[in-house]
């Protein structure tokens, strides 16, 4: 468990460092500053390229897993809930049908 936690912590630190480096390069480009992108991101260095490739694959896996989870959630929910239509029953008016009073009960007294 400790080794797994340490491995995850190391992975998170490396990911944060790569994201920070990428963010700095993008900000410099947006400000119009000259920047050597290949040097900053480690192009030409096989180890750094492998690290970037690993990170991109991890992002793709996470994104695919997230999309699959969202699709599964959408499938489990009904597509569109059908609103229940309430039909009001028309009560016959006293003119159309005379009411029959029950004899012997006080329910019709009032």
pLDDT digit string (tens) for 21-67? Answer: 889 999 999 999 998 888 888 888 888 888 888 888 888 888 888 89
Asked if the structure places residue 44 within a domain, the reply is: yes
Q: Is the pLDDT of residue 88 over 80?
A: no
Alpha-carbon separation of residue 100 from 31, 89, 103 (angstroms):
89, 19, 9
Residue 101 per-residue DSSP state: P
Asked if the structure places residue 83 within a domain, the reply is: no
CA 30/CA 25 separation, integer angstroms: 9
Asked if the structure places residue 106 within a domain, the reply is: no
Percent of the chain with pLDDT over 90: 9
85 confidence band (pLDDT: 50, 70, 90):
low
pLDDT at res. 78? 59
CA 49/CA 99 separation, integer angstroms: 90
pLDDT at res. 110? 54
- Given a contact cutoff of 8 angstroms between Cβ atoms, the answer to whether 51 and 14 are in contact is yes
The residue range of the domain holding 21 is 2-76
Asked if the structure places residue 86 within a domain, the reply is: no
Tally of domains within the chain: 1
Q: Is the pLDDT of residue 84 over 80?
A: no
Asked if the structure places residue 34 within a domain, the reply is: yes
Asked if the structure places residue 96 within a domain, the reply is: no
pLDDT at res. 29? 92
């Amino acid at each position: 468990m400790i080794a797994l936690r340490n491995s995850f912590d190391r992975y998170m630190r490396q990911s944060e460092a790569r994201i920070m480096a990428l963010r700095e390069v993008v900000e410099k480009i947006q400000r119009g500053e000259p920047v050597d992108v290949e040097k900053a991101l480690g192009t030409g260095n096989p180890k750094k390229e492998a690290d970037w490739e690993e990170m991109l694959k991890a992002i793709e896996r996470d994104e695919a897993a997230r999309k699959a989870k969202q699709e599964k959630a959408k499938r489990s929910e009904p597509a569109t809930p059908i609103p229940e239509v309430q039909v009001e029953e028309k009560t016959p008016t006293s003119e159309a049908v005379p009411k029959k009073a029950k004899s012997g009960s006080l329910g019709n007294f009032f």
